[in-house]
Amino acid sequence: MNIAILGAGIIGVTTAYELAADGHQVTVFERHASVAEGASFANAGVVAPGYVTPWAAPGMPAKVLGHLLARHAPVRVRRPLAAADLAWMRQWRAACDPATYAANRTRMLRLAFYSRHRLHEVAARMAYDFDRSSGYMVLLRGDRDRQMVQPGLALLRELEVPFHEITADEARQIEPALHPHTPLAGAVHLPQDEVGNCRQFAVILRDAAEQLGARFVFNTAVSAVDTAQTATLYIAGETAPQRFDAIVLCAGVQSAALLRPLGLRLPLRPVYGYSISAHIPEPVYARAAA
Ligand SMILES: Cc1cc2nc3c(=O)[nH]c(=O)nc-3n(C[C@H](O)[C@H](O)[C@H](O)COP(=O)(O)OP(=O)(O)OC[C@H]3O[C@@H](n4cnc5c(N)ncnc54)[C@H](O)[C@@H]3O)c2cc1C
């Protein structure tokens, strides 16, 4: 098949690689000048499938409301909520009911474990390695933290994901960079989880996909998609449409806007998070972030 992929984030690049490996003719359209310039650029890179869980969970509405009402709330609403936001919030609240949460969690976990399995298979075949390290530790500051992780640990036991509840001393042995003055009651160590450089992985995999025949077209924004006859897409600033046998939408949060004219309303809203990758010249002085 002749397939167009919209977006060259980690989802677009991995999709391009898999489809090219299966013998399809693949063209990836990306509005930026390179791969992984959006959400895939500088994420935390944690690969911890056992920790994957829907944010629409029982108890979450009360928790979010608590944050919004707190005196020193980290979340501030800067503009009035639009009707679409309110509709999304109603859907989100409905998805927090225990049965929907359980069904969604099962689906997400199945996908997450398969993804990790595939990551290892693909990484073993890549020409270059990417920055990665194995093991994942959740630091516990005190009894409150210990209480808070219990539901997560129950889920890990249920899934038979190996983990160890360890003392502060054991945590410092595994991670000698932890500052001795960092208050620590203990930690949860997941030896099979890992962290990897998402952007670097995407750059290397793009190369592998190109070697399999995939074509990447950068600095090219797609303005519309149409499924009326064959799968058609329109490039911003060009009048002639481009036709394919299929289009795979990997445009992140922008996917919702591209699908709306087709009558498909994806309940997708962006969530903004921040992660810091810091160079630590003296590893022995690293402190765990609060
Ligand atoms: C701070 C932070 C920390 C995170 N930590 C983790 C973590 O530890 N572990 C984890 O698994 N996940 C983490 N995530 C989530 C993860 O980064 C995202 O789920 C993932 O990167 C999404 O990839 P994507 O390819 O769907 O989207 P993106 O990387 O955003 O790619 C979408 C691409 O589509 C392109 N595009 C959009 N519209 C068009 C158009 N019209 N025409 C052409 N191109 C278009 C965009 O330019 C972009 O390059 C984190 C996210 C953030 C923000």
Long-range contacts of 120-129 (CB under 8 A, 24+ apart): 122/14, 122/17, 122/205, 123/201, 125/208, 126/204, 126/205, 126/208, 127/204, 127/207, 127/208, 128/204
pLDDT tens readout for residues 95-144 = 999 999 989 988 999 999 999 999 999 999 988 889 999 999 999 999 98
The alpha carbon of residue 123 and the mean position of all alpha carbons in its chain are separated, in whole angstroms, by 18
What number does the ligand 1 atom closest to the CA of 11 have?
25
Q: Residue 7's CB: how many other CB atoms inside 10 A?
A: 26
* Residue 144, domain member (yes or no): no
Instruction: Calculate how far, in angstroms, residue 37's C-alpha sits from the geometric centre of ligand 1.
Output: 8
* Residue 274, domain member (yes or no): yes
Domain residues for the domain of 20 are 1-45+197-290
- Would the CB of 254 count as within 6 Å of ligand 1? yes
* Residue 68, domain member (yes or no): no
Identify the residue with better confidence: 74 or 87: 87
**pLDDT at residue 70 tops 70:** no
What number does the ligand 1 atom closest to the CA of 221 have?
42
- Would the CB of 4 count as within 6 Å of ligand 1? no
pTM of the model: 0.88
Indicate the number of domains in the chain: 1
Instruction: Calculate how far, in angstroms, residue 185's C-alpha sits from the geometric centre of ligand 1.
Output: 35
CB-neighbour burial class of residue 280 (10 A; exposed 0-12, middle 13-18, buried 19+): exposed
Instruction: Calculate how far, in angstroms, residue 84's C-alpha sits from the geometric centre of ligand 1.
Output: 22
* Residue 138, domain member (yes or no): no
Which has the closest alpha carbon to 35: 213, 210, 203, 197?
203
Ligand 1 probe mutation, 5, 27, 30, 43, most atoms within 8 A of CB: 43
Give the closest residue (by CA) to ligand 1 atom 35. 7
Instruction: Provide CB contacts within 8 A for 230, sequence distance 6+.
Output: 243, 244, 245
Distance CA 203, CA 9 (A): 10
* Residue 219, domain member (yes or no): yes
CATH code of 248's domain: 3.50.50.60
Return the pLDDT at 59: 87
* Residue 202, domain member (yes or no): yes
CB 7, CB 249: distance < 8 Å: yes
Return the pLDDT at 230: 83
pLDDT tens readout for residues 14-50 = 999 999 999 999 999 999 999 999 999 988 899 999 8
pLDDT tens readout for residues 208-225 = 999 999 999 999 999 999
* Residue 31, domain member (yes or no): yes
Return the pLDDT at 86: 85
* Residue 237, domain member (yes or no): yes
Q: How confident is the model at residue 71 (pLDDT cuts 50, 70, 90)?
A: low
Cα–Cα distances in angstroms (integers) from residue 242 to residues 225, 234, 237, 269, 281, in the given order: 10, 6, 13, 29, 51
